[in-house]
Amino acid sequence: MEITGPTGYISNNQPSVSGSVTSTGGNITGVYGRYGSGRSSWMLATPVDGTFDSPYEEFVYTVLGPLLDGEHIIEIKSLNEVGEKDAVLYAV
């Protein structure tokens, strides 16, 4: 899984993280994100091509709630059609 996002200081309190996911075990069925020290609920990311339905997918996840000043962790996970998971943490 490859993730890109804002670097350095950002003034946007609802940052977006984008990336791509590749599955060798079947089609990607979803990419999800959550954030914060209490870890918010998992929310579906947006597929760049409109649907999660192939072994390679690009996505964008935007934080829904405004973040307070400071460093925050965004967690991204993907699922494929056979139930395999992949996850990565990203700091903003």
List of domains in the chain: 2-6+15-91 (2.60.40.650)
User: What is residue 38's DSSP assignment?
Assistant: T
Q: Could you give the maximum distance between any two Cα atoms of the chain, in Å?
A: 40
Helical spans, DSSP H, in 1-92: none
Full-model pTM: 0.82
8-55 tens-digit pLDDT: 666 677 888 888 888 888 999 999 999 876 677 899 999 999 999 999
CA distances from 4 to 15, 25, 46 (A): 11, 24, 15
How many CB atoms neighbour CB 19 within 10 A? 22
How many CB atoms neighbour CB 91 within 10 A? 9
The contacts found for 43-51 with CB under 8 angstroms, 24 or more apart, are 45/76, 48/18
pLDDT(1) > 60: no
Number of H helices, E strands in the chain: 0, 8
pLDDT(89) > 80: no
